[in-house]
Structure 1
Amino acid sequence: MTQFTPTTSTETRNADLAALILRVSTGGLFVAHALMKIMVFTPAGTASYFESLGLPGFLAYLTIAAELVGGALLILGVATRWIALALAAELLGAAILGHGGNGFFFNNEGGGWEYPVFWAVTLVALSLLGNGAYALGKRD
């Protein structure tokens, strides 16, 4: 029979650092992607792109808001588990609806689904880690 062994302080500290690194890097990437949609492609241009995929244009504005606010909340470490899962769902939608027909590799024309799926998996791992100790939100 396997006996439960509590984690050591080193394991806890490593998990807290892993959560911090994943939160800040992933949150920063989301903020950067939102800013690209705002400053480079423009919100109206992003909405037009969504419409070219057969999606309602208003989803572009929701996507921009989710990436900007969600990214900031990840960086701060607020509601990490829920924000990471919501953003993973957004990325799976992007993989299927935006990149699904372009093949696997992201360097394919139009970008394949490899990158958004990898990012979604990273977010699921982050949701399992939670905020960690180095966050504004309570440790979960």
Structure 2
Amino acid sequence: MLQDLNTRLNNPGLGALILRVTLGLLFLAHAWLKLVVFTPAGTAQFFQSIGLPGALAYLTIAAEILGGIALLTGFQVRLVALALIPLILGTIIFSHGANGFFFSNEGGGWEYPAVWAVALLVQALIGPGDAAITRD
């Protein structure tokens, strides 16, 4: 029975697809949050309040949208995943790192962005999986 389960679960292409789509949706959700809830101007103000240039907020929103779409469609997945890692590490360095490890801490700790960065690295290592528009 366990062997049968192992055989049915042995589908790395599907696993990579599920990870890729999840990451893409997360990036689009975070861009939507910055666009609709915080607004681009509000996001720029936040960036300035933590010592970053306000213009970087607009670049971050664009990276989240374009990166999210690329991951969803399976376009240049390895490159996109690697390119998005510094964005996520930046949230640890500039925003969440001082709040402690647990994301339930006030202001959100660095636990969630760290897992997100590792998931991006895993995606880069395993590739796009099934249903990708480019096979990188």
TM-score norm. by structure 2 comes to 0.90
Distance 1:119 1:35 in 2: 18
Matched, 1:112 2:104: no
Unaligned runs of 5+ in 2: 1-6
Residue of structure 2 equivalent to 1:87 = 84
Match of 1:66 among 48, 55, 63: 63
- SS of the equivalent of 2:72 reads helix
- Written as runs of structure 1 = structure 2, the 5 A alignment for 1:96-135 is 96-135=93-132
- SS of the equivalent of 1:99 reads helix
Residue of structure 1 equivalent to 2:31 = 34
Q: Could you list the per-position Cα deviations for residues 29-57 of structure 1 after superposition, in whole angstroms to 9, with x for gaps in the alignment?
A: 10011011001100000000000001000
Q: Could you list the per-position Cα deviations for residues 62-99 of structure 1 after superposition, in whole angstroms to 9, with x for gaps in the alignment?
A: 00000011001000000100111111111011111111
Higher helix share: 2
Higher deviation after alignment, 42-51 or 123-132:
123-132
Unaligned runs of 5+ in 1: 1-9
Runs of 4 or more off by more than 4 Å in structure 1?
A: none
TM-score norm. by structure 1 comes to 0.88
Distance 2:86 2:122 in 1: 13
- Count of residue pairs brought into register by the alignment: 129
Query: Aligned-pair distance for 1:133?
Result: 3.2
Coordinate RMSD, CA, aligned = 1.4
